[in-house]
Structure 1
Amino acid sequence: MPQPEKQLNPGASPQEWFGNELRVRRKAELLSARALGKLAQVSDDMILMIEKGQYPSLQLEVARQLDRVLNTGGVFERAWPMAFDKADADKTRPDAENRSPRRAEGTVQVQAGRMLGRDEPSPRPGSHEPVYRRSFLQAGGLAALVPIDLVDAFTPPRFVLPDSVGVSTIEEVREVATVISGLDNKLGGGGMVSNVASPAMQWAAGLLEVRCPEHLRPDLFAAVARLGIVVGASAFDAYHHAYATDAFAFAADCAEEAREWHLRAKSYSFLARQAVWIGQPDDGLTYAEKGLVRSDRITPTEQAMLHTARARAFGKMGNVRDCLAAVGQADEAFAQARPDEDPPWMAYYDEAQHNGDTAHGLFDLVIEKGQDPGRAARRFDTAVRGHSNDYKRSRAISRTKLASLIMATGDPRQAAAIGHKALDEAGRLTSRRAADDLRQLGAFANKHPRVQEAAALRERIAATVSA
């Protein structure tokens, strides 16, 4: 039998008032939680948690979306500061002391996005809220779009910049992005790669304040957006999450200014993946859905990439039906892929990458919901066999997840053999994501104390990866 709805007391707390108001207005529109979630680009679980007063860190952008969908005239946006006080929440976050001081609201000039109107990425817990605000700074008589906090974060006063930007400078930005991306895929985002990526980002962001001919400005913003994605991906892999979020959001802003739909989709894909990884699948789903806005403007490969992000979010939520549906949508889009139509930076998303990414969503369903492991195992195996040496990190991660899947559901001896191969490769990477996956494999191996092969693998993982 379905469970009765929780009875709310609107006077008990601002959050319960907010939740009760949402429930009343949703029902007045004859919408289910699932239907409202789709319209607002969030999950039905999130809608229900808000209605119960059990979602303490609601983003302002979600409140605005609810206002738009339910035509409230701004009720939820006005109630948001009372019900979800981010200033208090920031004080409890581990990284609150490390963040830049918030600038006065009066100094911020907010501009509407050029592609979709006001469409800034929604800030996540642990990220810089002001980074999503736009400010047009006068530079040599030209307006340069720069998110405020990133001016300080990426362009210290001592950094030397050219007097003007031309075609050759823009090409340098593109080449740097390609080099860092290659190093990141082979070695991981830590160590030397991180040391290269950060100064490159400082330099490229600073170029947006340098004089540039008007006809070259879209190309400059697109090149910087691409570099922002690459540097964000490197920081994500090294677990520098606040910096990664800033870089991805910066890239999304630059892509908007350049009217570059492909880079916009890629920025939101990474924001979605990172959100899922750090345990915020609702936010991940929202980012993926935003990336799919005007999907007719992006290629089938990019659509597959974003549906895969949706699948990973649903998988992390334990939502079997929607995860499987998203995997199906990803497969359908990928079947229509035409590599010659894709931007150059999408070349990585081949059959191996697609299978590995979709398998991650299915993996969570196997471990948490007892679903058939065969589908995920086959996809991981395809990924392992398909990844070249240029994508050692992806190959190592897929092999590790395959070993974990078999260790948890099948023959531990077979899993141990695969796990040792994964260690041979992952042990040489500076990827904290790969290291965490190895720790998970060790935890699964620990459940087979009497199997010598599993015990040996666990010991080797412990010796290779610091606790």
Structure 2
Amino acid sequence: MTEANDQLRHARERVESPRAPGQSASRQDLAEMVNEWIWRQRGRHTDVDANYIGKLERGLIRSPQDDYRAALRAITGVRTDPELGFRVRRHSSSPVENVDRKEFLRAVVGVGAAVSAAPLLELLSPDQPTPVPNVVTQADIDGVRTAARVFGSWDNHHGGGLAREAVVAQLRHSAEMLDSRCPEKLRGELFAAVGFLGHVCAMMAFDAYAHDDARRMFRFTQACADEAGDWNLRAKSLSSMARQAIWCGDPDQGLTLTELALVRADRLTATERAMLLAARARALAKMGRAEETLRTVGLADEQFTRADPANDPDWMRYYDQAQHLGDTGHALWDLAVRQGEAKQEAASRLASAVAGHTETYVRSRAMSGIKLASLTMTVGDPQEAAVIGAQALKDAQSLRSRRAADDLRDLAHRASVHEPVAEVAELRHGIRLAVAAS
């Protein structure tokens, strides 16, 4: 078990807060003093924060880098590292040879030490945060966009539950660039790129059911879009916020958000208008407004016929014909299973979406397949539904998606009335195993 570094905590508490005279310095106070000392004494920009000081005080990091130790010694008025509970690093020139894994870990962690997660995590705690550029360049902005594309692709292929922490860390680092000096001609691009990454992060949080995190990140994305004057990013984030609201059982709020996004539809591409109208149809369907749903799906189709991918921003690359058919098919699914309307049209759209989605969009393919299986299980042939469901289950098993897992639970529930059918029983068993492992 990691032992807390009480020596450092006591030393911090002896330092007076620059913000609240007479009170002890907080972790954030100490972090800022460290950054200031290193800048003045070493001429280097650092980004120590309260979280990092907390890791030091919890004993997760016992050997911070030289500059940090020097700053902490100077600020707390001590002469040696051990007075702050820090270990002095010793480097060995002898290579580790012919040892098995456990022996190697003991050699790395310390002779005689138990091989546990805590000391190993200590080895992975960075001593030196990645520096933020003092002046933002086009290359920096392109790097943020690339990160957003890469993580967005990961999300589409694997779901939001696996790499979310990595994306949050990247977003925090990128957001710090907003305080760096930036040429005026690049300022809008910078905010749009960071907002793009914020949207990816929000969607991953939504998929992992970290709903409060998602809402905060969507608000961050909106703020970036407003600062950049980017109507396209604004519309995309409002559309995603609407989808989250609908998923969380508030279609009225989802409808409001889509209407807000469509206020200046003339500034959006045809693809974006189709996306927003599809989201509007999903909200209307959840509210039981069948006639308006069908009319809105028709309007979405009309806009999609005018789509030109060359005019669309990066974050709209996913919205191809398969995605459009899947989104509108999801809207019609509600009418089909709850009101018995548009059953054939819903099934046709969902089947085309499944056939059209490539390996890049495994989650979308899985979720459309699960919905198609649920629809067929409810209003069609249970054996056919079991075949469709088995393929969707295969896709879903590669995901870490709470949304997909909940859709599988709904499919299993709808299939329960057909349990005597062997294929259905096998499907329900497979779903139970998959959900238990998710």
Same fold (TM over 0.5): yes
Give the deviation of 1:447 after TM superposition: 1.4
Give 1 or 2 for the bigger CA radius of gyration: 2
Distance in 1 (alpha carbons) for counterparts of 2:243 and 2:349 = 18
Q: Secondary structure at the match of 2:181?
A: coil
Amino acid at match of 1:377: A
Residues 318 and 365 in structure 1, CA contact (< 8 A), matched pair in contact too: yes
1:313 matched to 2:283? The reply is yes
1:402 aligned to which of 368, 372, 392: 372
CA distance in 2, matches of 1:388, 1:367: 27
Where do residues 235-254 of structure 1 align in structure 2 (5 Å cutoff)?
235-254=205-224
Q: Counterpart in 2 of 1:259? A: 229
Partners in 2 of 1:358 and 1:398 — Cα distance? Answer: 11
Aligned partners of 1:157 and 1:167: how far apart in 2?
Answer: 30
The RMSD of aligned alpha carbons is 1.6
In structure 2, the residue matched to 1:228 is: 198
What residue in structure 1 maps to residue 397 of structure 2? 427
Q: Distance in 2 between matches of 1:200 and 1:344?
A: 18
Residue from 181, 202, 210 that aligns with 2:152: 181
Query: For residue 463 of structure 1, what is the aligned residue in structure 2?
Result: 433
Q: For structure 2, list consecutive stretches of 5 or more residues without a partner in the other structure.
A: 1-48, 54-128
Which residue in 2 is equivalent to 1:198? Answer: 168
Alignment partners' CA distance in 2, 1:261 and 1:224: 15
Rounded Cα–Cα distance in structure 2 between residues aligned with 1:224 and 1:155: 23
In structure 2, the residue matched to 1:383 is 353
Q: Does 1:271 align with 2:235?
A: no
Task: Determine whether 1:330 maps to 2:300.
Answer: yes
Task: After superposition, give the CA deviation of every residue in 1:206-254 in whole Å (9 maximum; x if it has no partner).
Answer: 2212222222211111101111111111111111111111111211111
Is 2:329 the partner of 1:359? yes
Aligned to 1:170: 141
1 CA distance for matches of 2:180 and 2:52?
Answer: 13
Q: d(CA) in 2 for partners of 1:179 and 1:347?
A: 13
Offset of residue 398 of structure 1: 0.6
Q: Give the Å deviation of 1:157.
A: 7.8
How far apart in 1 are the matches of 2:189 and 2:134? 18
- State the partner residue of 2:97: none
Residue 155 of structure 1: how far off its partner (Å) = 9.8
Please list the CA deviations of residues 146-182 of structure 1 after superposition, one character each: whole Å capped at 9, or x if unmatched.
xxxxxxxx99687653323222211111111011001
Cα offset, 1:429, TM superposition = 0.5
Counterpart in the other structure of 1:295: 265
CA distance in 1, matches of 2:374, 2:299: 26
TM-score normalised over the length of structure 1: 0.65
The equivalent residue for 1:284 is: 254
The alpha-carbon deviation at position 321 of structure 1 amounts to 1.4
CA deviation after TM superposition for structure 1 residue 376, in Å: 0.6
CA distance in 1, matches of 2:205, 2:170: 13
How many Å apart are 1:344 and its aligned residue? 2.8
Is the contact between residue 185 and residue 393 of structure 1 (CA under 8 Å) also seen in structure 2?
yes
Looking at structure 2, the residues matched to 157 and 166 of structure 1 have their Cα atoms a distance apart, in angstroms, of 28
Aligned-partner Cα distance in 2 for 1:177–1:415: 36
- After superposition, give the CA deviation of every residue in 1:256-315 in whole Å (9 maximum; x if it has no partner): 111111111111110111110011111111111111111110001000000011011011
The DSSP-based 3-state class of the residue aligned with 1:283 is helix
Where 2:418 maps in the other structure, the secondary structure is coil
C-alpha distance in structure 1 between counterparts of 2:273 and 2:383, whole Å: 38
**SS across alignment from 1:361:** helix
Q: Please, which of 368, 382, 386 is the counterpart of residue 412 of structure 1?
A: 382
Q: State how far apart, in whole Å, the 2-side matches of 1:204 and 1:277 are.
A: 29
Q: Whole-Å Cα distance in 1 between the matches of residues 52 and 288 of structure 2?
A: 48
**CA distance in structure 2 between the aligned counterparts of 1:452 and 1:283, rounded to whole angstroms:** 42
Q: Deviations over 1:84-121 (max 9, x none)?
A: xxxxxxxxxxxxxxxxxxxxxxxxxxxxxxxxxxxxxx
Code of the aligned partner of 2:435:
V
Residue type matched to 1:161 in 2? V
Native 8 Å contact 1:155 1:205 kept in 2:
no
Q: Residue 195 of structure 1: CA displacement?
A: 2.3
Match of 1:74 in 2: none
